[in-house]
Structure 1
Amino acid sequence: MIPLCIPEIRGNEWKYIKECLDTNWVSSAGSYVDKFEEDFLRYLNIKKAVVTVNGTAAIHLALKVLGIGEGDEVVVPSLTFISPVNAVRYVGADPVFVDVSRDTFVMDAEKIEKAITPNTKAILVVHIYGHPVDMDKIMDIAKKHNLYVIEDATESLGSLYKGKHTGTIGDVGCFSFNGNKLITTGAGGMLVTNNEEIGERVKYLSTQTKTLLDNGGFFHEEIGYNYRMPNILAAMGCAQLEKIDEYISIKRENALVYNKLLENTRGITIPAEREYARNVYWLYSIIIEDDFGITRDELINRLKERGVQTRPFFTPVHKMPPYMKCRHLDMTVTEELANKGINLPSSVGIKREEIEIICDIIKN
């Protein structure tokens, strides 16, 4: 089996985790929590980073700290993993779905203003599969309408928009370190911001609003959340982050191999990289057009029979039962891509000969 996307463990993971075990610092206290935050903010060139138990928790805290709640609306794409949309519901707000661009698969900034009402409080951008959204247009719209911008940069860690890291352009950026991400802690997430007041507030809420009293006891001024990342996971994150530039280079090289082997293949549209972007190609994603000869799902089955694991594009969230009654604009492109898109194996450790096998199966 050639897997879709599995972790790459080739650095100091064993060393750092063993240190946690040897010293008994396995929970939220310990040096690696602070180190992971500091290393991550330096990598992104941002002022504040706060680790969380997962990426969903980071988005939930972002919405909470920005004061978004009951009766508010948040503009989101429907072609996304459901996590950011669920987080909007966690705070009692309503998602409003907009369409995506056909070449990049991400939120179409040209269509956002039509979704804005007096109740709109934020735009939640999701940089899916590694390509950045056109953030200049997003930020212009946000400024015009006095909206917050939250970036879910989970799938685009390492991608650049006009030289800036995704996740660092809006008011808040959020990341996940699930097992299939570019770098992983097994589980875990991170919230980043250039607003230190927001960062401190997030840290406070994520640790149960805990204040240490003079006698060693705890006091809590308000309701908080148990969204801490354990030291043992942060240790793995530190080791993974040391390898991130190498992993990005490999991902981009593999995408070039895919592009070369699949370009000019009838019925295949390869992924774009617009002039403003560095696409990290977290997942290498193609479109199976009508003239390919078989459907996307038939191709998935044939690849599976040959030992190749793939995944269709995300099912549109506005088509799922919890969100069918939510407001949305025309979703023609989203629904077409959901029916035609396929993610091909994209592990850092995939071999060139495996990419050649996959492309041969597709072309033949």
Structure 2
Amino acid sequence: MTHLRSSNNMRLADRQDPKNPGSGAPFDELRTFYFWKGRVALYGILKALGIGPGDDVVVPGFTCVVVPQAVRFAGARPIYVDICEETFNLDANQLRSVLTPNTKAIIVQHTFGLAADVEAIKSIAVPRGIKIIEDCAHSMGTLYHGAWLGTLGDAAYFSTQWTKPITTGLGGIAVTRDPEIAKGLAAFEQETISPSFREKCALYVQCRIHQAFFRPSIYWTARDTLRLLARMGLFVGSNSSEELSGLKPDGYEKRMGPLQLRQLKTQMAGLRASCDHRIRAAQAYEELINQIGLTGPTVLEGTEPVMLRYPVLVSDKPRTLDAARRARIEIGEWFVSPLHPLTEGLEQLGYRPGECPIAEEISRRVINLPTHTGVDAATIARIGEFLRNTEGVRCGQVRAQEPVPSYRLANKHFS
């Protein structure tokens, strides 16, 4: 498998769907279905594929807990496979060893917006009649040999949660070209319930607050406050206590509400600009970490990533995150374990400690840097100086060049 360091000079404005020139949307020609959350979209796809008790579904051992939970809620068994250290994505070379006669689908996650090796995975899955479900919760706008992620498998799902390029507060989108899968998704969508009046109102208020007040400098305060409010039932959070404990919440099968649909339509018009901004941010981070001597992501040859977050490996993750909190620097913790955000009790979801050693090691070392539209040259320069000077970040590498001020590197991409 060939890898190249990212040199992403292509702007999303230059990208067009090869089958729909000028569209610029990842799923213009697909049948599309809208749900309350991305995990519900995944659950709907599993149901549409007829996956249930007695079936196995392969899941990368470096994902959010809601992914294997959706598999379990469908009645199937999640089977975990380790990741590639360079790309943070499912390792196709280990795939054959986890397949069983009951394997019905493989969930191909494009972590952080980095494309997984879809062709290598399909070469194993397709001859066996195993379905490919693309997990595009981190990726909207990434190209794989000229094709949009989300159009390469039998079905795919996207997330429009708070942190995503297109955000409706919460939300999930399922897409497919397959008429039979579309028929199953349509039937599932009919069975879903509408968000309650209280949920709609709460989400509306949250979206307005997020748009008006969220800034990188208040990231830690905002994160802690929202998590507290979610535990108190005053905020519509991403994860419920039931899900984190392995239980299917009441009202899980829920569709997207009118407010979310209106926001989605409005924000799709800004997708190109949002993704173009993320590309520039990733380019700036790449130069910074190369100069500092840190390890960042490697991308597959022939892919053009739009990165949701920019992952970096550090020597002491807890120390780095603690320093970032004190310095009011927005740095993320994804993922803290193979089944984020769980740090214990993974066995209840069928994960055996040591089953995915690379994912476990990466979880102990990876942090991620923001690429959203609230990040400007000054923010990136500040993050660069933090990484350059904070104890616990450096892994002992030697700089290959004389240091250039972080602000100068950042300004080059945001001038």
The verdict on a shared fold, with TM-score over 0.5 as the criterion, is yes
Aligned amino acid, residue 319 of structure 2: E
- What's 2:277 paired with? 250
Percent identity of equivalent pairs: 30
Residue 161 of structure 1: aligned partner: 144
- Aligned position for 1:276: 302
1:350 and 2:375 aligned = yes
Deviations along 1:43-83, one digit per CA (max 9) or x if unpaired, are 42433111111111100011111011111111111111112
Q: What amino acid is the match of 2:274?
A: Y
Evaluate the alpha carbon distance shift between residue 350 and residue 323 of structure 1 in structure 2; reply closer, same or farther with a 3 A threshold: same
Residues 51-130 of structure 1 aligned to structure 2 (within 5 Å) = 51-130=34-113
- Name the CA distance, whole Å, in 1 between partners of 2:295 and 2:347: 30
Displacement after TM superposition at 1:322 (Å): 4.8
Amino acid at match of 2:163: N
Distance 1:258 1:70, change over 3 A: same
2:321 match: 300
Matches within 5 A, 1:335-346: 335-346=360-371
Deviation at 1:204, TM superposition (A): 2.1
- Higher relative contact order, structure no. (Cα contacts within 8 Å, ≥ 6 residues apart): 1
Q: Which residue of 1 aligns with 2:388?
A: 363
Cα drift, residue 274 of structure 1: 2.0
Contact 1:75 1:124 in 2 (8 A): yes
Partner of 2:115: 132
Letter in 1 for 2:321: I
Separation in 2 of the partners of 1:110 and 1:232? 43
Aligned length: 307
Distance 1:326 1:319, change over 3 A: farther
Provide closer, same or farther for how the CA distance between residues 148 and 93 of structure 1 changes in structure 2, counting only shifts above 3 A. same
Alpha-carbon distance, 1:207 to partner: 1.9
Task: Look up the SS of the partner of 2:138 in the other structure.
Answer: helix
* Structure 2 letter corresponding to 1:240: Q
Is 1:178 equivalent to 2:204 in the alignment? no
Out of 322, 331, 345, which is 1:310 matched to?
331
CA positional deviation for 1:309: 2.7
Q: Deviations over 1:188-230 (max 9, x none)?
A: 11100011232132122212289xxxxxxxxxxxxx9853212
Contact 1:84–1:152 under 8 Å retained in 2: no
Aligned partners of 1:304 and 1:319: how far apart in 2? 20
Deviations 1:84-120 (A, max 9, x none): 1110000111111111011110111111111001111
Shifted more, 191-200 versus 234-243: the winner is 191-200
- Of the three residues 188, 191, 201, the one matched with 1:208 is 191
Q: Secondary structure at the match of 1:44?
A: coil
Contact 2:33/2:185 (8 A) holds in 1: yes
Cα distance in 2, alignment partners of residues 305 and 157 from structure 1? 32
Q: Give 1:287 shift.
A: 0.8
Contact preservation (8 Å) 1:72, 1:93: yes
Residues 103 and 209 (structure 1 numbering): CA distance in 2 closer, same or farther, change over 3 Å?
closer
Which residue of 2 is the match for residue 9 of structure 1? none
1:338 CA displacement:
0.3
For normalisation by structure 2, the TM-score amounts to: 0.70
CA–CA distance in structure 2, aligned partners of residues 70 and 186 of structure 1: 33
Q: CA distance change for structure 1 residues 45 and 237 in 2, over 3 Å: closer, same or farther?
A: closer
Equivalent residue number for residue 34 of structure 1: none
Contact 1:150–1:171 (8 Å) recurs in 2:
yes
1:261 aligns with 2:296: no
Distance in 1 between residues matched to 2:252 and 2:381, nearest whole Å: 47
Q: Is the 8 A contact 1:311 1:343 kept in 2?
A: yes
Question: CA distance change for structure 1 residues 248 and 256 in 2, over 3 Å: closer, same or farther?
Answer: same
Contact 1:48-1:194 within 8 A present in 2 as well: yes
